[in-house]
């Protein structure tokens, strides 16, 4: 009989008030409401101050919120509010609205006037690929999607076309079909600033002759015109700021050289001979444990800069060719490079030495970074205080999976490059990290990654730091699946059995996952459970949230996820929108949670 009842419910449109406010919301309302039935502006102001942590809230602020609720509820045909007061249903509607009561602020609020090297930057890898790294199509479509999402670094791999008179964009020595460079440049121009006004960096992997490099220079200048920024001098001692570079396009690549004749080019893609990785398939396994990864490489890290796999494929055997410096056709191309890539020959220590007269970009594979972190972690941090560090996926990730981005961020790497089509938990972390600072694609690095201590010491990601802050999270309830999913999506015969996994991604000592109990047969689960997370480095922590539907006989069904930057969380009772596997927000699914810092 119970199943029949739920089927009948699903044949009609659900109304908002069918989900009842949880006891905590009722208690908050009753403690403030006049005569237990209505809340006026003054009572709402008290709630904003005492529960939501908004110490500066005024009666006028409360009146504006009530007016917004009036308009929104009228919009969905629940009638007008005659006086500036809230009923319990109004109050619940307000709390469970991500438009009125978001979990973190949506405005840009970081200082944007520091050098670009002081920011983490939303970075793409092989941005032109529609799928896997070996046989998918190359297109401007994934570039457009990335820019619309707020990605600020687009990577293009440039190769001569079949007649050697133009430039193709493709993943070299693979079966990927090419796309024309000019088409990519035009799409970048059109969509560069739809999601953010802050600069777009184009990282160029250059496999071209000097004549074609000169042609690239012409294309770039003709396409971008005044949008293009480049330095007046070959010697750049400090990068410009994101604020200065607003609505500008900048280039990053190695200075021109005979790349086609280099050993690394000839060896290129040997490790991409068809090995497959099942990491993060579909919606992924747990993000790899950082502590285990780093400890694996604490021994035997000699020859770090010279292994075949680490120097394969895309990236930057970046020495300047002295003969080419005097070659006129490439000079214009060279002068257009704002962030110059360079990797000195020799040891890792040589590569991480800062030049007081020049700042540059260094590229490391995920494996090189992990090895470097084991023995030279503080040198990485010191290097990234002025110079740029780019990290890219290893060549064997042929399915476009990704790696754990936290190891790059906690060592100060500005460009942690990801396959944006490689859906899985690692990409969810990337999406969550760059929800910070209004989603503008630039997140200011915490001061401890930018400054030296009184004794010249820098942040050590492996050190055992004391707990700085404790985050308490209460998961009240969830709703919206009944609106966004078919009634038989999770179970053909009964309502779903939801539970929530919640935890922290950050430095190894802060990483943990917990979960609520399973609530059986309920489209609107009310868990009302609290979790406590002691944080040693809260500035780099992400709150991970996943909802699953328990299945006794098969794999549990995925029901949504989100990641939230802990440093941006607003205290109090907040709405948390939930996203699908690809990071697209569900229309209706969300959680009601409470955040408290102690």
Active site residues: 125, 171
Looking at per-residue pLDDT, the higher value among 303 and 472 belongs to: 472
Q: What is the per-residue pLDDT for 290?
A: 63
Per CATH, domain 466-598 is 3.40.50.300: no
C-beta pairs of 446-453 under 8 Å, 24+ apart in sequence: 446/539, 446/540, 448/539, 449/381, 449/384, 449/385, 449/412, 450/118, 450/385, 451/385, 452/382, 452/385
DSSP secondary structure string for all residues of 6-73? HHHHHTSPPPGGGSPPPHHHHHHHHHHSBTTTBB-HHHHHHHHHHTS--TT--HHHHHHHHHHHHHHH
User: Does position 278 have pLDDT exceeding 50, yes or no?
Assistant: no
Q: 585 φ, ψ to 5°?
A: -75, 130
Query: What is the pLDDT at residue 70?
Result: 85
Q: In the predicted model, what is the mean pLDDT of the chain?
A: 87
What gap in Å lies between CA 242 and CA 199, rounded to an integer? 6
Q: Domain locations in the chain?
A: 16-101, 116-449, 466-598
DSSP reduced 3-state for 319: coil
For the CA atoms of 260, 121, 352, 236, what is the dihedral angle to 10 degrees? 80
For residue range 14-24, what is the model confidence (pLDDT) as tens digits?
344 468 999 99
Question: How far is CA 594 from each of CA 67, 162, 479, 517, 535, rounded to the nearest angstrom?
Answer: 24, 59, 16, 18, 17
> What is the Cβ-side half-sphere exposure of residue 517, based on CA atoms within 13 angstroms?
10
Q: Please check the confidence at residue 144 and state whether its pLDDT lies above 80.
A: yes
Q: Answer whether 442's CB lies under 8 Å from 119's CB.
A: yes
Q: In the numeric block, which tokens belong to residue 177?
A: 């079909």
Give the rounded percent of residues in the chain with a pLDDT score beyond 90.
Answer: 75
- Beta-strand ranges (E) seen in 275-330 are none
Domains 16-101 and 466-598 share a fold: no
Superfamily of domain 116-449 in CATH is Phosphatidylinositol (PI) phosphodiesterase (3.20.20.190)
CATH architecture assignment, domain 16-101: Orthogonal Bundle (1.10)
Beta 337-340 vs 249-253: how paired, if at all? parallel
The answer to whether the beta carbons of residues 68 and 100 sit under 8 Å apart is: yes
Which residues sit opposite 276 in a β-bridge? none
pLDDT band at 343 (very low <50, low <70, confident <90, very high): low
Burial class (CB within 10 angstroms; exposed 0-12, middle 13-18, buried 19+) of 344: middle
Q: Which range has the worst mean pLDDT, 28-32, 286-290, 404-408? A: 286-290
pLDDT tens digits along 498-531: 999 999 999 999 999 999 999 999 999 999 999 9
Kindly report the pTM of this predicted structure. Answer: 0.88
CB within 8 Å of 528: residues ≥ 6 apart:
22, 23, 24, 474, 475, 476, 477
Tokens 């399915």, located at residue: 399
């Amino acid at each position: 009989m119970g199943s029949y009842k739920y089927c009948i419910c699903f044949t009609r449109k659900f109304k908002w008030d069918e989900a009842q406010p949880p006891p905590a919301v009722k208690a908050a309302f009753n403690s403030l409401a006049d005569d237990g039935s209505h809340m006026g502006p003054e009572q709402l102001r008290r709630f904003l101050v005492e529960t939501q942590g908004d110490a500066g809230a005024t009666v006028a602020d409360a009146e504006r919120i009530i007016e917004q609720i009036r308009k929104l509820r009228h919009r969905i045909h629940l009638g007008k509010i005659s006086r500036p007061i809230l009923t319990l249903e109004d109050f619940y509607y307000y709390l469970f609205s991500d438009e009125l009561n978001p979990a973190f602020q949506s405005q840009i609020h970081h200082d944007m006037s520091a050098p670009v090297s002081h920011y983490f930057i939303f970075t793409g890898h092989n941005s032109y690929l529609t799928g896997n790294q070996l046989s998918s199509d190359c297109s401007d479509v994934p570039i457009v999607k990335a820019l619309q999402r707020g990605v600020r670094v687009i990577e293009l791999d440039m190769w001569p076309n079949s007649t050697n008179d133009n430039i193709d964009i493709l993943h070299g020595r693979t079966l990927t079909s090419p796309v024309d460079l000019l088409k990519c440049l035009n799409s970048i121009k059109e969509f560069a600033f739809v999601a953010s006004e802050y600069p777009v960096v184009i990282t160029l992997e250059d496999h071209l002759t000097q004549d074609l490099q000169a042609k690239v220079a012409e294309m770039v200048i003709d396409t971008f015109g005044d949008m293009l920024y480049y330095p007046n001098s070959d010697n750049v001692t400090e990068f410009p700021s994101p604020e200065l570079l607003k609505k500008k396009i900048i280039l990053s690549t190695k200075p021109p050289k005979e790349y086609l004749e280099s050993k690394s080019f000839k060896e290129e893609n040997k490790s991409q001979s068809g090995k497959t990785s099942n990491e993060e398939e579909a919606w992924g396994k747990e993000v790899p444990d950082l502590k285990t990864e780093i400890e694996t490489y604490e021994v035997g890290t000699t020859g770090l800069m010279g292994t075949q796999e680490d120097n394969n494929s895309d990236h930057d055997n970046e020495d300047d060719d002295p003969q080419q410096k005097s070659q006129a056709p490439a000079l214009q191309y060279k002068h257009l490079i704002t962030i110059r890539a360079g990797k000195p020959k020799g040891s890792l220590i040589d590569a991480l030495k800062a030049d007081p007269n020049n700042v540059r970009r260094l590229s490391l594979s995920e494996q090189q970074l992990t090895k470097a972190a084991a023995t030279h972690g503080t040198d990485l941090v010191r290097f990234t205080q002025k110079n740029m560090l780019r990290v890219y996926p290893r060549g064997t990730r042929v399915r476009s999976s990704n790696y754990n981005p936290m190891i790059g961020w906690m060592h100060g790497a500005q460009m942690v490059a990801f396959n944006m089509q490689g859906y899985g938990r690692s990409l969810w972390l990337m999406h969550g990290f760059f929800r910070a600072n209004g989603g503008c694609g630039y997140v200011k690095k915490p001061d401890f990654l930018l400054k030296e201590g009184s004794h010249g010491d820098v942040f050590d990601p492996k050190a055992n730091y004391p707990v700085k802050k404790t985050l308490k999270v209460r998961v009240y309830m969830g709703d919206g699946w009944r609106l966004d999913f078919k009634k038989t999506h999770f179970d053909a015969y009964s309502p779903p059995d939801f539970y929530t996994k919640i935890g922290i991604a950050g430095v190894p000592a802060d990483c943990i996952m917990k979960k609520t109990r399973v609530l059986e047969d309920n489209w609107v689960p009310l868990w009302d459970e609290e979790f406590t997370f002691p944080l040693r480095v809260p500035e780099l922590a992400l709150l991970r949230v996943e909802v699953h539907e328990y299945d006794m006989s098969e794999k549990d069904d995925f029901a949504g996820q989100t990641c939230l930057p802990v440093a941006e969380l607003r205290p109090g009772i907040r709405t948390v929108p939930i996203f699908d596997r690809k990071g697209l927000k569900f229309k209706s699914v969300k959680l009601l949670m409470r955040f408290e810092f102690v």
